Structure formats: C-alpha cells, structure tokens
Amino acid sequence: MEEHNWIKTILTPLSWIYGSVTSVRNRLYDQHIFLSQKPEQFTISIGNLTVGGTGKTPMTEYLVRMLQPDFHLAILSRGYGRKTKGFLLAGSQSTAEDIGDEPLQYFQKYGKKVAVAVCEKRVEGAKQLADLRPDNNLLLLDDAFQHRAIKQDIKILLNDYNRPFYNDLPFPAGRLRENRNGALRADAIVVTKSPTDLPESDRKKIIEKIRKYSNPKAPVFFSSIRYAQPVDYSGSEVTLKNVKLVAGIANPQTFITHLSQHFNVIEEIIFPDHYNYTSADLERLIKYLKNDTFVVTTEKDMVKLKPLVEKSGLATQFAYIPIAVDFGKDTGPFSEWLKNRLP
C-alpha cells in the first residue's frame, strides 16, 4: 500500500496536467469554438468519467429492453478492440475482430430488432446509420460521454459504487478520463453495482458527494447487478458446482465475488479487458479440466471464446452467467424521468 501511495504521489502532477488539458478541451466545446454536430436521430449517451468497468454494457441493454417497444433503436459504439476501421453495420457474419466484443454481444441479443453499428467518429457513424436505416429514430451512444463532437440529447453518467469518481484522480495517478467536474454535463447520474440493501443514509451520503461536482438538477439513481441462471455455450441452463473462473473485463471483482459466494472456485484466470482469445488460451483453459468442472466466463468473454469452444466440442463444459441492471426502488422514478425527456 505504501508503494502504491508513493507512485500515486509521483504521478499526481501529471494528473493535474492531463486534467487541465481535458478541461481546456471541454471549455472550447462549451464556448462553441470546437463545434458539435446534431445528428438526425434523438440520442442518448451512456458513459462514465472512469476508465472501464462501470457497467455501460448492461445499462445499454437495459435501455434497449425499456425503449425498444416504443422506438426504432440503433446502437452506435466505437467498437473498442476491433481490428477494422471506419463505419461497419453489424451483420450475421460479424465477429468480435470486426466490430468489437460489446457490439457483437448487442447484435447477438437484439440484432433482429435493433441496428448495431461501430464507428470511431460518432457523427459520421450517426449519418451513415440515418442513411442506411432512416426509420431508426432513437440512437444509443455507447461510451460517448467524452465524445463531444456529437450533440447528445440525454447524457447518462455511470458512477461505480465501488470506485466512485469523486474519490479518484485523472490519469495517470487515477482512472479518470477528465476532471471530476465533467459530471456537470450529465443529465442524470446512475450509481451502478450498488448493494441491493443499501441503507437510505448511505444513499444520501453518496448523493451529497456527487452533488459537489454535478448539476444540482440532475437526478441520482441507484442500480445493482442481477445475475441470472448460468447458461452453457450451447444455450442450455446448467447447474454449477466446481468452476474455473475466467474473465477478460475491466473490473472483474464483482464477477469474482459472485462466483466465490455461490460456487466452488478452483482457479481464477484473469485476462486484460477486451482480450482476444487464441487457440493457445483455450488449451490452457481446458488443461486438466475434469468432467465435474465448468469453465465459467462473463457474457462479454463468451462472445469471443464461443467460436473456439464450439470447434473443440466442449460447448457444454463452458458456461457464462448473464447479468442485468436492476434499479430496485428506483425503477419507476428512472423510467418516469427518462420517458419525460424522450420525443
């Protein structure tokens, strides 16, 4: 811990410089020196101040399920980790290397009803989506809070309960993409991964800390992660006992905690976020794998591992645990707040 604090102290001046640069950039957008463009679609941005792991993917999926009955939706993502460039519309032949793991997950779950596309330049991506899918009247921008070149009608900022932005610093001493007062741009803040039994007194304390940096008119909601029944890679629900835990996500601790509380974890193997699995990795995962043991991954890892696993014939010994956002007592208030702002 002392070594960590020493390194953080050394890097803090660099964080001040980085934070100042991002603040100047934001000011130039605020003063319309840098221009933002309004796309044809009504846009909702889901983003964060922290690098990775705040729950953008399950939040985007929550909005899809909530809004799809009333709108023609499209999801536009950067497609982080893909090996392609420019605009791509997801299709039945798309892979994680083509469009990235999270967009592929969206497409596999909702592609029959929701257009999914990737593009580094969101303005260009929104324009091409409007040309190709003119009926899509609502655009979800995945991880675009800092992408100010495109105007966003509703900006939802996610704050991880376990790693709150108000206790963090900009890169490199911390994990913030910009200064804490970037929260001022948010129309609402969602505290993700909250305990389901969070006391009201703790909620109020968290809101007070957020309010130091956010717009006082922006509501603060609390959500938690709900884990579903495990599913093997062939699509069948399974009962788990002994598991080999595998994760390649930004912040795997919540996943690790859940599996440790409910199953006998015999091994943990952690890969970097957005990791692209290889045949050699698969060999490592199945080495000494017993018949009574499952390799259990996140859903995001499943979309990349599944093609390799199916070739090996072990799809029934690999499983993942679907997750969903649960707003608990904030379900009604969040829905009412959002729907009052939609076109």
Q: 3-state SS string over 93-111?
A: CCCHHHHCHHHHHHHHHHC
Please compute Rg for the chain using Cα positions.
20
Burial 298-313 (b: 16+ CB within 10 A, else e): bbbbbbbbbebbeeee
* 183 CB burial (10 A radius; 0-12, 13-18, 19+): buried
What's the CATH fold of domain 42-71+137-225+326-339? Rossmann fold (3.40.50)
pLDDT tens for 63-92 read 999 999 999 999 999 998 899 999 999 999
pLDDT reported for residue 4: 57
What's the CATH fold of domain 229-321? Rossmann fold (3.40.50)
Please state, in angstroms and rounded to a whole number, the distance separating the CA atoms of residues 118 and 281. Answer: 27
Annotated binding site for ATP: 50-57
CB 320 within 8 A of CB 233: yes
CA-nearest of 216, 56, 252 to 141 is 56
> CA triplet 293, 298, 300: central angle to 5 degrees?
140
Please state, in angstroms and rounded to a whole number, the distance separating the CA atoms of residues 57 and 26. Answer: 25
Please state, in angstroms and rounded to a whole number, the distance separating the CA atoms of residues 216 and 219. Answer: 8
Q: Which portions of the chain are predicted below pLDDT 50?
A: 1-3
pTM equals: 0.94
Distance, C-alpha 201 to centroid of its chain: 28
CA-nearest of 152, 154, 94 to 122 is 152
pLDDT reported for residue 9: 81
Q: Which amino acid does the sequence have at 332?
A: G
3-class DSSP state of 18: helix
Annotated binding site: 50-57
In sequence order, what are the beta bridge partners of 320? 231, 297
Find tokens 């091409």 and name the residue.
128
285 DSSP assignment: H
CA-nearest of 160, 165, 161 to 185 is 165
- Collect all residues with Cβ–Cβ distance below 8 Å to 183 and sequence separation of at least 6: 49, 157, 165, 189, 210, 213, 214, 215
CB 295 within 8 A of CB 282: no
Q: Where are the domains of the chain?
A: 42-71+137-225+326-339, 229-321
149 DSSP assignment: T
pLDDT reported for residue 71: 96
CA-nearest of 90, 68, 74 to 130 is 74
Instruction: Tell me if domain 42-71+137-225+326-339 and domain 229-321 are identical in fold.
Output: yes
